[in-house]
Amino acid sequence: MVTGEHAFIRAADPDDAPALHAFYGTPLPCSALLDVRREPVLATSEELRETLDHKDAMRGVFHAVEDKAGRIRGFCGLRGVNNEAAFGEVMFMLLDEADYALPLAREAMEFTARLGFERQRLHKLTAHCLEAESALRAFLMDFGFVSEGVQREVLFTQGKYHNIEVLAFFPPAGAECQPGV
Amino acid sequence: MPLKTETFLRRAERDDLDTVVAWMEEPDFQHFLYGDPARSPKQVREQIVMMLGRSAGHTVPGAVYLMIDSKAHGPIGLLSLQNISWRNRACNIDLYIGSKHLRNRLVTGIAILRALEYCFDELNLHRVGAIIYSFNTPSWRIFEMTGAQRELTLRGHVVREGRPYDMYGYGLLRGEFEAFRERIRRSAENVSLQAMIEALAREDAEKTP
């Protein structure tokens, strides 16, 4: 467990399945939970429990973010790590949009960045945002992510098409890790 | 006026296996698309058998692999439609012209046109995406000619020969493809065999002293 000033961050475990399941019930799907085809995944709590129990897949890369009172406020982690090109995709989601403005969010993202740049030795982190995820986007931009473009009309839900923006975050200048080296 | 050529798409068959294996082992295929040079021919063959096994015959395939064939030249290349989302009506497209002597703008352009017609007219998709490496300039130029928009510039996203390169993400929406087809149709509106014969006759007359 990582104890921050505002958050506890720990590896997610099967008992977190109900908290994680809450993210699948939002009116507009979370961009972090879309699959490779940009389709929302409809998972039951039991399926999530099984996934979180899969040590190879989840342990060490997917984390629960708790506040100081021990309530789960969200999840963070990495997926789709490409070791050759040294990049990975950030999964970052907080249940309450207002939480993106809290120091807890910054602590969790700093932890995720360290996970990518120091432990996995990546040179780039990517993240995705739907248009409606304005709080997440503002948070990512404030953290230092830059836009790499917008994929148009890539997700169809609630009777209309939605765009997805791709953002990237690079380690500070002078960091050792470079792709392909 | 429809564009009539001798190039057509068809499902890949067992007889195509050797051709596709040979293409996928080419350094060009691995440089411009994907693949691992360390793989044995047996592994490549097994991958292709698996790919062809989940072809368009399935009810809702996640990927479709087709051969680009020609009456004049035989099998020209391989077309793969991946990450097909029937919910979003979208897919990603990969296209490889295996016959090196046919890698020109005309053959590639016609192959892409046929592929896009298949995506929009047969599969009824709304969006076709393509990921193209920045150093593969001829490919992204041809894709842009169809009306596709460069939506993403992913910095340092692919490594070749130890160097990172940018990767471009393109998207082509149904309306953009229809506008492209309309441009082709209009450009061919005044073309007729009679007019061509008359033009040739005029040229001959001008050359005659």
pLDDT at A179: 45
Q: Which of B155, B152, B176 is nearest to A151 (CA)?
A: B152
Angle between helices B17-24 and B41-53 (to 10 degrees): 120
Per-residue pLDDT, averaged over A120-145, amounts to: 94
* Interval B148-175: pLDDT, tens: 999 999 999 988 888 889 999 999 999 9
Question: For residue B84, what are the contacts with CB-CB under 8 A and spacing of at least 6?
Answer: A37, B61, B62, B63, B64, B90, B91, B123, B125
* Interval A39-57: pLDDT, tens: 998 888 899 998 888 865 5
Mean pLDDT, consecutive 10-residue stretches, chain B (209 aa), reads 70 81 82 75 76 60 85 87 93 88 80 91 96 92 94 92 92 97 83 80 80
Query: Which of A50-54, A141-145, A172-176 is least confident?
Result: A172-176
Among B34, B88, B92, B93, the strongest candidate for a mutation testing the A interface, having the largest count of A CBs within 10 A, is B88
ipTM of the complex: 0.85
Phi, psi of A25 (to 5 degrees): -100, 10
pLDDT at A159: 92
Please state, rounded to an integer, the average pLDDT across all residues of chain B: 84
Report the C-alpha gap between B82 and B40 in whole angstroms: 24
Separation in Å, CA A26 to CA A43, A47, A76, A130, B99:
13, 18, 17, 13, 50
3-state class of A95 per DSSP? coil
Please state, rounded to an integer, the average pLDDT across all residues of chain A: 88
Question: Domain-by-domain residue ranges, chain B?
Answer: 7-207
Q: How far is CA B122 from its chain centroid?
A: 16
Q: Which helix (H) or strand (E) holds B8?
A: strand B7-11
Among B64, B85, B149, the strongest candidate for a mutation testing the A interface, having the largest count of A CBs within 10 A, is B85
Given an 8 Å threshold on Cβ–Cβ distance, is B83 in contact with A36?
A: yes
Q: What's the pTM? A: 0.82
A181 touches chain B (CB under 8 A): yes
E-assigned strands of chain A? 2-3, 7-11, 62-67, 72-82, 87-94, 124-130, 146-157, 160-169
Answer whether A130's CB lies under 8 Å from A164's CB. Answer: yes
Residue A104, pLDDT above cutoff 80 = yes
Q: What angle do CA A56, A60, A63 make, to 5 degrees?
A: 120
CATH topology of domain B7-207: Aminopeptidase (3.40.630)
Residue percentage of chain A with pLDDT more than 70: 92
pLDDT at A175: 56
